Structure 1
Amino acid sequence: MSSSGSHAMSTSDSITSTNLYRPLNSMDPGWKYGRLTDKSDPNLVKCLLCDFPCTGGITRFKWHLAGIKGNIRKCPKANAEVQKEIIGYLEILKKKAEDRKKKAEELVADVNINSDDSEPEELETERDKKRLRLKKPVNLVKEKGRGISFNSLADPDFLRFCEAVGQYGSGYKPPTPYEYRVPLLKRKFGEENVLQVVTDNAAANMKAAELFMAKYPRIYWTSCAAHSIDLMLESISKQKEISDVIRDTKEVANFIYSHHQVLSLMRGHTENRDIVRPGATSFWKSVALAIKIFKPLVVLLRIVDGEEKQPMGFVFGGLKDAIKKAKAAFRYNEDVFQPCVKAIVDGMKGRLDGELHKAAYYLNPYYFYRDFEEMRTDPSIMDAISNCIVRYYPNAKIQDTVMTVEMRSFQESMGQFGKDTAKRQRENNDEAFNPAHWWSIHGSEAPYLRNIAIKILGLTCSASGCERNWSTFEWTHSKKRGKLEV
């Protein structure tokens, strides 16, 4: 029996499914041939081909498979096909690393803090000129308008900042943490330019939100969408019908992927494919049902916790669709679908059903023209968009223009909203669709409504990016490990 990388493990050294783990969400080809021996330690990987215990994580393990000399012992049972696959993947990673390095070099190449022609000639002393130069490294980064967070360390502009500081030389004293958090942040943005603050659902944050909104009534507080959806998934997974399927599926997957001969046998009968397609058994029908329930939420989680789409316009509409699909999955049997639907509704309440979420749902042209009849009969949706307009535009005359003229033009597809290109581009919610960009192109005849649409639809809705800096969330929800495939 043979298939890609199919080599038998010695019976005495075989690891049982109780102590072998595979990161199911990772697409790294190394996991086809290796497993974690301790799921709490990503550095310990055991080779399924030769049983070699590799330290240094999945990257060093791929060197073992590829037979790269000088780094780690070569796997004696990895055939030419396995080596070719892994070497090809490593070359892709190397090319990406080289591209990043080249881009970083280009970023700092044009940094010159002495090239600013705005330096006043009347500065008489070297001390005065040095004080002026001291401000330039900060301004170089600040002018990009990036938010201040620990993720700035991975930002390309941080490299430019470092280069500017290097060119300045010794003696540069950066702002203190307090100056970054309060006076500099306030000076750069200002309360009038802040529309939303996002935090997770911790009890302390929920209490702080009440105090914050009382002090700053013009600014919205919203809950982290990624955290809220994660809690919904957790709640649904505890329902007996779903938890039983998850338990059985884990046992089947662990057994197959922990026994190399069984894995090779399966791949031999499935043309080297993994377990992704349900078969005609009651077990797989249950798995298919669970997938139908989880998929809409997982897709939405990837949007709100990703960088491909501006997420705010998809939260409320995506959750409404998830509820509809859950009902359909259970064939609209209320006794059966109610627990799952309740988990979604309860997770939305007070967190993802606020005025900003509903206003973004209204302003997203994909949902608006698809669900308009449903929207116009829901007073909470109309109240949300009206309240956002009032809060964003304090001027009564502008409010009247938006609500009586521009909203009507949007609702009835008048002018540019009714052009064939505008209609075609709003009908497909694919990866390329960007509702804020749609407004920037087709909303010029409704300038006030366009401005607030671009502002709201461009908002983030998750705080998970910041949480990755100081918690174990980095391991479970990093961009590399947490990108779920559906």
Structure 2
Amino acid sequence: MASELEPIPISSLKHDPAWKHCQMFKNGDRVQLKCVYCYKMFSGGGIHRIKEHLACQKGNASCCPRVPGDVRDVMLQSLEGVSVKKRKKQKIAEEIKSIVPGKDEVGGFGVETDVGAGVKVVATPNAVGRSRGSERRKRGKIDNVLLPSSSIVHDGSMISVSELTTKSVKGKDQVHMAIARFLYDVGASLDAVNSPYFQPMIDAIALRGPGVEMISYHDLRGWILKNSIEEVNGFFDRCKATWGRIGCSVLVDEWITETGRVLLNFFVHCAEGLVFLKSIDVSDTIRSSDALYELLKGVVEEVGVSNVLQVITGTAEHYVIAGKRLSATFRTLYWTPCAARSINSMLEDISKVEWISVTLDSAKSITRFIYNHGAILNMMRRYTSGRDLVQPTVSRFATDFVTLKSMVNLKDSLRTMVTTQEWMDYPFSKQAEGIEIMDIILSQSFWSSCSTIVCLTDPLLGLLRVVGYDKRPAMGYILAGLYRVKEAIKNELGEKKEYMAYWDIIDSRWDQQMQHPLHEAAFFLNPRFFYSLDGEARDKIPSGMLDCVEKLVPDTKIQDKINRELILYKNAAGDFGRKMAIRTRHTLLPAEWWSTYGGGCPSLARLAIHILSQTCSAIVGKRVSIPFEQVHKTRNSLERQRLSDLVFVQYNLRLQQIQVGKNREPGPADPISSENIDLSDEWVTERREFFGDGDSDWMALDQPLINSMLSDPNDEFDNLISAGFEYQERENGVKDFDEDGMIRL
């Protein structure tokens, strides 16, 4: 079973381009590779067989039916490059043999090592004379060696190794400068180098060698765009095929452009992946709930009413009105508020608590001082081993509390820094601002407040990462996660009068925005959480579960079957009671568990898989520089359609890479970069009246070395799975709650 395979991280030292398109697993003592496009497992043959599979080169491996065309071409070029290198090595070896005496005759003279195309390293006699004897007996041959005294034959001339190294470094710099000049000239985002398609492009050009024909403007907007649409449609169609079988969610993400235009971007999420559907300019109608309703209704009909389980939008009043009207029109789907936005609102409300707001202001004064003085920023990065204090993340309020956690983790480094002579020698440290910053950093009460805030908000931040995670549906975890957040706050503060203030904030947002039958049903259908409840609690079926049965399953006969099957699930009867089923409650994803063990309750299992395969959030990654606005400004219908198709390709290529987990690791985020400034503005933006002119020599800055301290969303899921919790809720018609508001189902 796939669940028995242990994933193995692919080392960054593996440079073959095929490693970017497969996953590695350990199965007992064997290592297996898996194609990320068709999911075929390979037990042998190594990366070369994967490459043949992706290149659709018949022979030792089957052809991949789903590989994108550009990947197939790169794999073909790589295979051709391997063949060329082999032939070149053979040719060099034959040339050496024809002009140099045999190795045995000269004690190893003539041993050569490839350094690059057309380059041979020839060791001098005194360098290898000692290699005979013990080394040959030990290894059976003389290893190819490159010694400082070696000379190199390059293009018919003898050059030293140091000269070749210098040329290599200069060549690399020239390549990087050429790339930079191109990006600067077209005004592209510097984040472009983090695209997962950037390195494959460089590899493809390098494999072709000099003289690659220049791509034309008309090629890009002509046959290449046409082929790209066909490739993306293949991914789109694979996702679409699951909509009717497992159900899907329509996500509505509102964007405001730099010119103030309001765009609604529509996505469809299902178990197979996330796809971009289209973008619509609603600048003139966004506040009209009637117009919004008609728009949502049209999108649902386009996707298929019978396929859509829920429509997720923001929580503004016009969305609420239009969403509830939509749910009333289509009796088999729900309108659901975006969980990520609701959790962000909880963080916003917490940030407004007076003592927390004061503490955040003090923390921001520290970072503003540091990030506006180059010498002090360099000093800070040295004392923190390259780590940054400010950690931009998904929203401004999440950034506040993630940054505060980062500062708490680096507290000792900061306190050490401001007590050194190096700090004292810096001119700004002697001014009023510098003295005030040092006092804050050395204040025990400040750090005590920071630590308490981190304990209060870290569980919410973890839940925010869970609901926004692209690779694991969060529907089965949202309710349990929220209860875990409240329990963590209670454990931190202890006194009821203290923790109830924060419970009130969470409950207020939950009652207004997030309380939903789907969340309650998903909790009930998640075997890990449901079977963790006391026996008495399991005897009751939550009303949210019954609501979902009535709404999502209109056929009364099937409803009756589900009611009977619910008894089997509650009692862990049949396959639900198998030892394997009990053991894998903790390891399998909820939908996978139902697919494996729900055969005896087919109607209930189908409903459970539909619900547990859904997402909770309508926020789709970070905002990207895709020309949405250009599409809506264009008046020519032909060009407008071409631009719409271009946006369709651009966005879905990004989403496809997220789905297969092949995004290039972007490296440390720089808090002062223009691309992060919207999130980190209050932490790094200078207040002139306070700090003066600062120290703005950016060319003297040391760059950040360490990535964000954010935890992996998989760890957050694991925390939810392993953490115990009690079912918590306000008195809203639910029975059996105690004085702290803790209840049992």
Match of 2:337 in 1: 223
Residue 263 of structure 1: how far off its partner (Å):
4.2
Residue 461 of structure 1: how far off its partner (Å):
2.2
Q: Of 460, 466, 471, which residue of structure 2 is paired with 1:308?
A: 471
Structure 1: how far apart are the matches of 2:332 and 2:582?
34
Match of 2:349 in 1: 235
Q: Of 446, 462, 468, which residue of structure 1 is paired with 2:601?
A: 446
More contact order relative to length (CA 8 Å, sep ≥ 6): 1
Deviations 1:177-230 (A, max 9, x none): xx998778526513x333222221111122223433333343222111111111
Residue 248 of structure 1: how far off its partner (Å):
1.8
Look up the SS of the partner of 2:543 in the other structure: helix
Q: 1:293 to 1:402 in 2, by over 3 A?
A: same
Whether contact under 8 Å (1:224, 1:463) holds in the other structure is: yes
Q: Of 369, 394, 402, which residue of structure 1 is paired with 2:531?
A: 369
Structure 1: how far apart are the matches of 2:274 and 2:612?
25
Match of 2:119 in 1: none
Structure 1: how far apart are the matches of 2:448 and 2:315?
35
Whether contact under 8 Å (2:527, 2:585) holds in the other structure is: yes
Match of 2:619 in 1: 464
Residue 324 of structure 1: how far off its partner (Å):
0.9
Match of 1:198 in 2: 312
Whether contact under 8 Å (1:292, 1:326) holds in the other structure is: yes
Whether contact under 8 Å (2:312, 2:338) holds in the other structure is: yes
Structure 1: how far apart are the matches of 2:486 and 2:275?
41
Q: Of 573, 586, 592, which residue of structure 2 is paired with 1:427?
A: 586
* Residues paired across the two proteins, number: 349
Structure 1: how far apart are the matches of 2:357 and 2:544?
37
Match of 2:668 in 1: none
Q: Which has the higher strand share?
A: 2
Look up the SS of the partner of 2:335 in the other structure: strand
Whether contact under 8 Å (1:151, 1:466) holds in the other structure is: no
Whether contact under 8 Å (2:476, 2:525) holds in the other structure is: yes
Match of 2:198 in 1: 97
Whether contact under 8 Å (1:375, 1:382) holds in the other structure is: no
Residue 246 of structure 1: how far off its partner (Å):
1.7
Structure 2: how far apart are the matches of 1:148 and 1:347?
20
Whether contact under 8 Å (1:316, 1:353) holds in the other structure is: no
Matches within 5 A, 1:282-431: 282-331=445-494, 333-372=495-534, 375-376=537-538, 382-404=542-564, 406-427=565-586
Match of 2:177 in 1: 69
**Under a length normalisation based on structure 1, what TM-score does the superposition of the two structures give?**
0.59
Which residue identity is paired with 1:452?
A: L
Q: 1:374 to 1:318 in 2, by over 3 A?
A: farther
Look up the SS of the partner of 1:313 in the other structure: coil
Q: 1:90 to 1:266 in 2, by over 3 A?
A: same
Structure 2: how far apart are the matches of 1:269 and 1:361?
45
Whether contact under 8 Å (1:313, 1:457) holds in the other structure is: yes
Deviations 1:331-359 (A, max 9, x none): 2x122222211111111114211111111
Structure 2: how far apart are the matches of 1:200 and 1:323?
24
Residue 474 of structure 1: how far off its partner (Å):
11
1:485 aligns with 2:686: no
Which residue identity is paired with 1:336?
A: E
Which residue identity is paired with 1:348?
A: W
Deviations 1:251-307 (A, max 9, x none): 223333443444444455555555532658332222222112211211221222230
Structure 2: how far apart are the matches of 1:372 and 1:102?
58
Q: 1:101 to 1:374 in 2, by over 3 A?
A: farther
Q: 1:353 to 1:152 in 2, by over 3 A?
A: closer
Deviations 1:148-197 (A, max 9, x none): 984679x99899xxxxxxxxxxxxxxxxxxx998778526513x333222
Q: 1:336 to 1:70 in 2, by over 3 A?
A: same
Match of 1:130 in 2: none
**Structure 2: gaps of 5 or more residues:** 1-172, 182-189, 205-223, 244-249, 253-264, 278-293, 390-405, 413-443, 630-674, 680-707, 712-745
Structure 2: how far apart are the matches of 1:207 and 1:352?
15
Q: 1:256 to 1:420 in 2, by over 3 A?
A: farther
Whether contact under 8 Å (1:298, 1:484) holds in the other structure is: no
Residue 397 of structure 1: how far off its partner (Å):
4.1
Which residue identity is paired with 2:533?
A: D
Structure 2: how far apart are the matches of 1:198 and 1:335?
35
Which residue identity is paired with 2:508?
A: D
Look up the SS of the partner of 2:620 in the other structure: helix
Q: 1:338 to 1:297 in 2, by over 3 A?
A: same
Q: Of 251, 262, 267, which residue of structure 1 is paired with 2:365?
A: 251
Structure 2: how far apart are the matches of 1:359 and 1:441?
19
Which residue identity is paired with 1:328?
A: N
Match of 2:658 in 1: none
Which residue identity is paired with 2:605?
A: R
Structure 2: how far apart are the matches of 1:364 and 1:268?
47
Look up the SS of the partner of 2:532 in the other structure: helix
Matches within 5 A, 1:22-101: 68-69=176-177, 93=194, 96-99=197-200
Look up the SS of the partner of 2:199 in the other structure: helix
Deviations 1:92-140 (A, max 9, x none): 847752348999x9x949969xxxxxxxxxxxxxxxxxxxxxxxx9899
Q: 1:346 to 1:267 in 2, by over 3 A?
A: same
Residue 385 of structure 1: how far off its partner (Å):
0.9
Deviations 1:69-113 (A, max 9, x none): 35779xxxxxxxxxxxxxxx999847752348999x9x949969x
Look up the SS of the partner of 1:222 in the other structure: strand
Q: 1:101 to 1:411 in 2, by over 3 A?
A: farther
Select the structure of larger CA radius of gyration: 2
Match of 2:672 in 1: none
Deviations 1:376-429 (A, max 9, x none): 48x7x611112212223334443333223x22332233333233433333326x
Structure 1: how far apart are the matches of 2:585 and 2:551?
27
Whether contact under 8 Å (2:296, 2:326) holds in the other structure is: no
Structure 1: how far apart are the matches of 2:251 and 2:553?
27
Q: 1:484 to 1:278 in 2, by over 3 A?
A: closer
Which residue identity is paired with 2:618?
A: A
Whether contact under 8 Å (1:236, 1:340) holds in the other structure is: yes
Match of 2:301 in 1: 186
Q: 1:158 to 1:383 in 2, by over 3 A?
A: closer
Q: 1:376 to 1:424 in 2, by over 3 A?
A: closer
Whether contact under 8 Å (2:467, 2:474) holds in the other structure is: yes
The percent of aligned pairs where both chains have the same amino acid is 28
Q: 1:220 to 1:251 in 2, by over 3 A?
A: same
Structure 2: how far apart are the matches of 1:330 and 1:484?
25
Residue 360 of structure 1: how far off its partner (Å):
0.8
